[in-house]
Amino acid sequence: MKKSLTRRNMLKTSTAAIGAVAGAGLLKGFPAIHAADAPVIRYLGTAVNMGDAVQKRLFDDTGIKVKFIVKTTDEVVKTIFTQPNSFDIVDSEYFSMPKLVPSGNLLGMDTKRIKEWDNVTSAFTKGEVAGKKIGDQGTAPKKVMYLKGAKSKEFASEPTQYVTLIPTVYNADTLGIRPDLIKRPISSWAELLNPEFKGKASILNIPSIGIMDAAMVVEAMGEYKYPDKGNMTKKEIDLTMKIFTEAKKAGQFRAFWSDFNESVNLMASGEVVIQSMWSPAITAVRTKGIPCVYQPLKEGYRAWAAGFGLPSTTKGRQADICYEFINWYLSGWVGAYLNRQGYYSAVIPTAKKYMEAYEWDYWMMGKPATADIMSPEGKKLASKGEVRDGGSYEARMGGVACWNATMDENKYMVRKWNEMIAS
Amino acid sequence: MLPYFFYNYININMMKFLKLKPSVGLLSIPYSLIFIFFFFIPLILTLIISFWDYNEYSIIPDFIFENYSYIFKDCLNFEKDMCVTFKTYLSTFIFCFITWFFTLIIGFFVAYFLAFYVNSITWQIVLFLLCTIPFWTSNVIRMISWIPLLGRNGLVNDFLLSTGLADAPQEWLLYSGFSIVLAFVHLYTLFMIVPIFNSMMRIDKSIIEAAYDNGANGLQILWNVIIPLCKPGIVIGSIFVITVVMGDFITIGIMGGQQIPSIGKIIYVEMSYLQLPAAAANAVILLALTLLIIWTMTKMIDIRKEL
């Protein structure tokens, strides 16, 4: 039967469709507050780990919608300063806290409103993994975690009820290598400046992260031992930059990268065989079928951590919705999603519930895969029998040497970094 | 209302000065307003902020020269290596000149071909559209696409190796000054073609015929008739190319493998670390230099008269 599409018919069917959608939503049981009007959260962040699947699941579970404001790490910080009311929730890194907290633009987060607070990993709250202290050079989360009060602009050295960010995701970063092109084992950060890889090395051109990688290299070469890599003196900055400037002039680096995709292209095309890299970039190279290893190194890892913060003007219903979102975020589904990308969830026990036993063994326990390991998008990451680079959670997070940092001499460091790029 | 009256006052006096009818002034109001609010005022703010102080998270009203003096720190010390600022500007000027040279040569002859050898308007339009092909894809995709062509394992190197023209992959093809100029020329030749073509289309064909009838050969016609009449187009095209290259940091960044400095990149990094006064000072200097270049160029030719 053919029905002509008249305006009237069109109206009838579309109204019915809207009704059905609304009805279905209600049946699932929106909380009363949401039924009034579907809440939308403006989410400011780099959103590297937030795929469409997360948004869909969030809406199905809670009826909350998310509108992403995607910016780079540095731009996120800038936005918090310059447009503090342009977002409802921010996904920021802990190393930005020494800059952000004194501005008073962020609200102290109330841990009593976080259901899983007691289960947040000790790497954040105490700087420990499996009861052992891990490296805390740089802006380790525990140093900038607690506030003296909800509206405080000062950090507290002892645990309090109020925190700067509710932790969500973190990882231990290291160098990425192309084992098929290097053809020998790599075990030290010093290899980045090994003349053997002249014209085939790369480092990232984001000063606050690049300087930490540079410091790991300088220390591994035995040139200098920093009292605190994460808080260098002017002299130490000069020394570090001098070593890298000389290497750059000698043609050690093929390119510097500042965008995630650039690092993937450099590695996948073989222009570069050893470089600073982020975990999802390794995954991206591998899903192209090109061998790429996130090489554990004897000097340890450079770690980073991120979490959720709210602008200081948040109150009432808006705060309720944001806390509900955060509680949902920590309730396990996202945690499993993050773990499967090679990151770590801040609340491990809930994430475990959403992972298959073989996935858990591969990602968290460092055991050989008993089945093919898939990414959240369903692409194959590792075959049966393979072991995760760096092994278990305890081995990787336990091997952290330093954290991404904001130094006291930040201004000087950025200038010196620019000089190195210009040299 | 006050700004409006203020504006009107200036406007009417300008009209008197330029001896134009008031109706012309009215027509220019919308654009002038946009210009004042979104260009002139921000520019003044940039200038003011370049004298402010700053810390990690805020800019502090002040009147200091530190932002400027830092830029030229060590620049007058000739015993040391050239300072970063001079080095950066020098490399930017070199890119500017080479890019300008090649876009001018290529752009001029493409425009010449389009204007004098293609007779149908349809074909002129079709060929014009072909010239815009570089702008059909996004900047990032375009840049990344150079890797498979110029990279170590790229097409050009494969060709060189397989024909025995080179015995090792040529690394200077990518992430070098060469690749930067290549990308600039590839992109910005169009900016030369359009104004030069425009000038050429205005040339009265009978002038060329007259030159021919008087016994001038092709080269003489080109040199003594066409080029002088195309000068406004050439200057406008040059202004486009030079201003774009002076302020560019994305092309230089990606094609130079982030290893070749540009003023734009320095400003960008300073901005992302909220060192806004320092960035403003750099921007003011860049603007002053670019204006100086344009001013020199307009001295060579009075654009207003030629238009």
The ipTM value here is 0.71
Question: Which chain A positions have a beta carbon within 8 Å of B56's beta carbon?
Answer: 98-99, 102, 406, 410-411
CA distance A109 to chain B (A): 21
DSSP sequence for A259-319: SHHHHHHHHHTTS-SEEE--HHHHHHHHHTT---EEE--TT-EEEEEEEEEEETT--HHHH
Contact A312, A106 (CB under 8 A): yes
Q: Do A121 and A265 belong together in one domain?
A: no
The shortest C-alpha distance from B239 to chain A (Å) reads: 26
Amino acid residing at A82: T
Torsion of CA A394, A400, A405, A407, to 10 degrees: 140
> Quick check: A33 pLDDT over 70?
no
Provide the token pair at B159: 């060709």
* Structure token pair of residue A136: 């805390």
The CATH number of residue A50's host domain is 3.40.190.10
Judge if A141 and A208 occupy the same domain: no
Please check whether residue B180 is in contact with residue B245, taking contact to mean a CB–CB distance below 8 angstroms.
Answer: no
Is residue A387 assigned to a domain? no
Instruction: Say if the Cβ atoms of A255 and B270 lie within 8 Å.
Output: no
Arithmetic mean of pLDDT, B43-63: 89
Residue A11 within a domain: no
Taking contacts as CB-CB distances below 8 angstroms, the residues of chain A near B271 are 78
Q: Do A410 and B273 touch (CB under 8 A)?
A: yes
The alpha carbon of A198 is separated from its chain's Cα centroid by a whole number of angstroms, namely 30
Mean pLDDT over all residues of chain B?
85
The answer to whether residues A194 and A235 belong to one domain is yes
Torsion sign, CA atoms A127, A129, A135, A139? negative
CB contact under 8 A, B270 and A414: yes
Asked if residue B211 has pLDDT above 80, the reply is yes
Q: Suggest the residue from B66, B85, B141, B269 to mutate for an interface test with chain A (most A CBs closer than 10 A).
A: B269
Q: A186-190, A293-297, B170-174: lowest mean pLDDT where?
A: B170-174
Q: Is A354 an 8 Å CB contact of chain B?
A: no
**Tokens read off for A107:** 């609200």
State mean pLDDT over B106-128: 91
Among the residue ranges A16-30, A56-70, B190-204, the one predicted with the least confidence is A16-30
What is the average per-residue pLDDT within B279-298? Answer: 91
Angstroms from B188 CA to nearest CA on chain A: 23
Nearest to A266 by CA among B42, B302, B200, B144: B144
Q: Mean pLDDT throughout A402-421? A: 88
DSSP A337-387: HHHHTT-EESBHHHHHHTS-HHHHHHHTT-PPPSS-EE-TTS-EEE-TT--
**Contact, A53 vs A364, CB < 8 A?**
no
Q: Does A164 lie in the same domain as A126?
A: yes
Measure the CA dihedral A29/A33/A36/A38, to 10°: -80
Mean pLDDT within B122-130: 89
Asked if B272 and A75 count as a contact pair (C-beta separation under 8 A), the reply is yes
The span from the CA of A382 to the CA of B163, in Å, is: 39
Tell me which of A266, A421, A423 to substitute to probe the interface with B (most B C-beta atoms closer than 10 Å): A421
The answer as to whether A60 is a domain residue is: yes
> Which residue of chain B has the CA closest to A251?
B259
> Which stretch of DSSP H or E encloses residue A41?
strand A40-45
- Is pLDDT of B89 > 70? yes
Quote the domain boundaries for residue A90: 31-171+304-353
Average pLDDT in the A144-161 region?
Answer: 91
What are A364's two structure tokens? 């968290």
Q: Which residue has the higher pLDDT, A278 or B82?
A: A278
Would you say residue A423 has pLDDT above 50?
Answer: yes
Contact A103, A81 (CB under 8 A): yes
Distance of residue A321 Cα from the nearest chain B Cα, in angstroms: 29
Q: For the domain covering B78-306, report its CATH number.
A: 1.10.3720.10
Question: What pLDDT score does B15 carry?
Answer: 57
* Best B272, B275, B276 residue to mutate vs chain A (most A CBs within 10 Å): B272
pLDDT at residue A1, as a whole number: 41
Contact A9, A3 (CB under 8 A): yes
Question: Which range has the worst mean pLDDT, A368-372, B10-14, B204-208?
Answer: B10-14
Whether pTM > 0.80 for this model: the answer is: no
Report the C-alpha dihedral over residues A278, A280, A286, A288, rounded to 10 degrees. -120
Say whether A74 and B153 touch across the interface (CB within 8 A).
no
Q: How far apart are the first and last CA of chain B?
A: 36
Chain A, chain B: beta-carbon pairs less than 8 Å apart? 90
Q: Which of residues 49-78 of A touch B (CB under 8 A)?
A: 72, 74-75, 77-78
Residue of A nearest to B265 (CA): A418
Between β-strands A166-173 and A301-311, what pairing exists: parallel, antiparallel or unpaired? antiparallel
> A406 to chain B: which residues are within 8 Å by CB?
56
Q: Which residue of B has its CA nearest to A264?
A: B144
- DSSP annotation of A146 reads B
Work out the minimum CA distance from A147 to partner chain B, whole angstroms: 18
Residue A9 within any structural domain of the chain: no
Q: Is residue A381 part of a domain?
A: no
Is the CB of B152 less than 8 angstroms away from the CB of A256? no
Q: Which residues pair with A171 in a beta bridge?
A: A304
Find the radius of gyration of the CA atoms of chain B.
24
Cα B272 to chain center, whole Å?
A: 24
Give the residue, B307 or A214, on which the prediction is more confident: A214
Greater model confidence, B41 or B269: B41
What ranges in A89-206 are assigned the alpha helix state H? 97-100, 122-125, 179-182
Do A180 and A159 fall into the same domain? Answer: no
Query: Does residue A358 belong to any structural domain of this protein?
Result: no
| Cβ proximity of A47 and A76 under 8 Å | no
Q: Pick from A274, A79, A299: which is nearest to A176 by CA?
A: A274
Indicate whether A377 belongs to any domain.
no
Contact of A207 with chain B, judged by CB distance below 8 Å, is answered with yes
For residues A120 and A252, membership in a common domain is answered with no
Q: Which of A135-144, A412-421, B37-46, B140-149 has the lowest mean pLDDT?
A: B140-149
Q: In this prediction, what percent of chain B has a pLDDT beyond 70?
A: 90
User: Residue A9: is its pLDDT beyond 50?
Assistant: no
Residue A166 lies in a domain: yes
Residues A294 and A335 placed together within one structural domain of the fold = no
Residue A83 in contact with partner chain B when CB distance is under 8 A: no
In this structure, the answer to whether residues A266 and A155 fall within a common structural domain is no
Residue A379 has pLDDT above 90, yes or no: no
**pLDDT (tens digit, 9 = 90+) per residue, A38-57?**
789 999 988 767 778 888 99
Nearest to B87 among A265, A269, A422 (CB): A422
Evaluate if residue A367 carries a pLDDT over 50.
yes
Provide the mean pLDDT of chain A: 87
How much is the average pLDDT of B83-96?
Answer: 89
Q: Kindly provide the b/e burial profile for residues B149-178, where b requires at least 16 CB atoms within 10 angstroms of the residue's own CB.
A: ebbbebebbeebeeeeeeeeebbebbbbbb
Burial status of residue A131 (CB atoms within 10 A of its CB: 0-12, 13-18, 19 or more): exposed
pLDDT at B21 over 80: no
pLDDT at residue B186 above 60?
yes
Q: Contacts of residue A271 in chain B, CB cutoff 8 Å?
A: 147, 151-152, 174-175
Q: Is residue A2 less than 8 Å (CB to CB) from chain B?
A: no
- Residue count of chain B, please give it: 307
| Mean pLDDT confidence for A27-45 | 65
Domain count, chain A: 2
Please check whether residues A340 and A404 belong to one and the same domain: no
Q: What percent of chain A has pLDDT over 90?
A: 60
Contacts of A423 in chain B (CB under 8 A): 84, 87
Q: Which residue numbers of B have CB closer than 8 Å to A's CBs?
A: 56-58, 70, 84, 87-88, 140, 144, 147-148, 151-153, 171, 174-175, 253-254, 257-259, 261, 265-266, 269-275
- The answer, yes or no, to whether residue A36 has pLDDT greater than 60, is no
Model confidence over A53-82: pLDDT tens digits?
888 999 999 999 999 998 888 788 889 988
Same domain? A42 vs A113:
yes
Question: What are B220-244's pLDDT values in tens digits?
Answer: 999 999 999 998 899 989 999 999 9
Q: How confident is the model at residue B303 (pLDDT cuts 50, 70, 90)?
A: low
Pick the closest to residue A340 from A358, A367, A319 (CA basis).
A358
Q: In chain A, what residues touch B270 (CB-CB under 8 Å)?
A: 414, 418
Residue bearing the bigger pLDDT, A34 or B97: B97
Among the listed ranges A9-13, A239-243, B67-71, which one has the minimum average pLDDT value?
A9-13
